[in-house]
């Protein structure tokens, strides 16, 4: 009897695992699984439009950010008929978890900024918002990698990756996550934790004061704000942008 019950429990567990896998596969890019919806995740990008986003300090205007036929949010570098700039969420966020996939071009360099303050007094998103670095580590020129705080997954300009991680090469998708709770920021790249920083303490203030950002008085001060995707000279693509507020 005990053996039969054990087999039944094992069978039910396998069925549950298979059901979860099928649900995940059926969801597809830029959609939420039933589990994600139950956990409170929402989409930042629907795979069809740029609704919920606008160009930093420019509003909802035609820009280099387009949605491709296969559902990618793509920053097109070789267009001059529309405006270029960082793409900003309409909404501000404080305590949150954000998941996203990104694919960089050869020798590409981009980023995701958090706690961005949108104001004409600040010319770009990076003058206020700390950056999750996106980079083609394999294709970028070697001199750039001499500074290990510039590698993919880093808190740009402040920390080298906490753990060894391999970023996918140009043209392949990477999976990333950003978590912020009461001013403590953590980054992950392809399942590996890469950064952990409290933005509210004296240590952070000292780091900023000794960095290239020291001339920007609002940099890294806020612990809430918009999320921005960086426009750069080479193309970058995003998909599966999801967020859960805590």
* pLDDT, tens digit, 9 for 90 and up, residues 201-210: 999 999 999 9
**pLDDT(25) > 80:** no
Cα→Cα distances 64→42, 68, 71, 75, 177, Å: 25, 12, 16, 6, 25
State the residue for tokens 């404080």: 94
To the nearest 10°, report the CA torsion of 214, 218, 224, 225: -110
**pLDDT(5) > 70:** no
Q: Pairing between strand 226-229 and 192-198?
A: unpaired
**pLDDT(181) > 50:** yes
* pLDDT, tens digit, 9 for 90 and up, residues 224-235: 999 999 998 889
pLDDT confidence tier of residue 80, bands split at 50, 70 and 90: confident
pLDDT confidence tier of residue 18, bands split at 50, 70 and 90: low
pLDDT confidence tier of residue 4, bands split at 50, 70 and 90: low
Return the pLDDT at 232. 85
Q: What percent of the chain has pLDDT over 70?
A: 89
Q: Where are the alpha helices (DSSP H) in the chain?
A: 2-27, 34-39, 202-209
- Cα 100 to Cα 92: distance, rounded to the nearest angstrom: 17
Mean of all residue pLDDT scores within the chain: 92
- Cα 111 to Cα 131: distance, rounded to the nearest angstrom: 6
**pLDDT(24) > 90:** no
Q: Which of 15-19, 25-29, 81-85 has the lowest mean pLDDT?
A: 15-19
pTM: 0.88
Q: Which of 18-32, 143-157, 192-206, 222-236 has the lowest mean pLDDT?
A: 18-32
Return the pLDDT at 28. 87
* pLDDT, tens digit, 9 for 90 and up, residues 89-139: 999 999 999 999 999 999 999 999 999 999 999 999 999 999 999 999 999
Q: Cβ neighbours of residue 160 under 8 Å, at least 6 residues apart?
A: 148, 149, 151, 154
Distance separating the N- and C-terminal Cα atoms of the chain? 45
């Amino acid at each position: 009897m005990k053996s039969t019950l054990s087999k039944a429990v094992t069978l039910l567990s396998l069925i549950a695992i298979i059901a979860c896998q099928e649900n995940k596969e059926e969801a597809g890019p830029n959609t939420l699984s039933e589990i994600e919806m139950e956990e409170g995740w929402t989409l930042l990008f629907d795979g069809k439009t740029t609704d919920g986003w606008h160009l930093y300090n420019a509003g909802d205007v035609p820009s280099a950010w387009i949605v491709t036929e296969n559902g990618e949010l793509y920053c097109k570098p070789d267009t001059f008929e529309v405006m270029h700039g960082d793409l900003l969420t309409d909404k501000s966020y404080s305590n949150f978890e954000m998941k996203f996939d990104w694919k960089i071009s050869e020798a590409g360099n981009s980023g995701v900024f958090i706690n961005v303050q949108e104001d004409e007094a600040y010319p770009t998103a990076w003058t206020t918002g700390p950056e999750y670095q996106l980079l083609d580590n394999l294709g970028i020129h070697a001199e750039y990698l001499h500074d290990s705080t510039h590698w993919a997954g880093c808190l740009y300009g402040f920390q080298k990756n906490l753990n060894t991680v391999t970023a996918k090469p140009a043209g392949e998708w990477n999976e990333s996550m950003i978590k912020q709770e009461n001013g403590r920021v953590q980054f992950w790249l392809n399942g590996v934790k890469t950064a952990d920083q409290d933005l509210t303490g004296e240590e952070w203030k000292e780091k900023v004061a000794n960095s290239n950002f020291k001339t920007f008085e609002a940099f890294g001060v806020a612990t809430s704000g918009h999320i921005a995707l960086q426009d750069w000279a080479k193309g970058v693509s995003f998909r599966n942008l999801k967020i859960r507020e805590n």
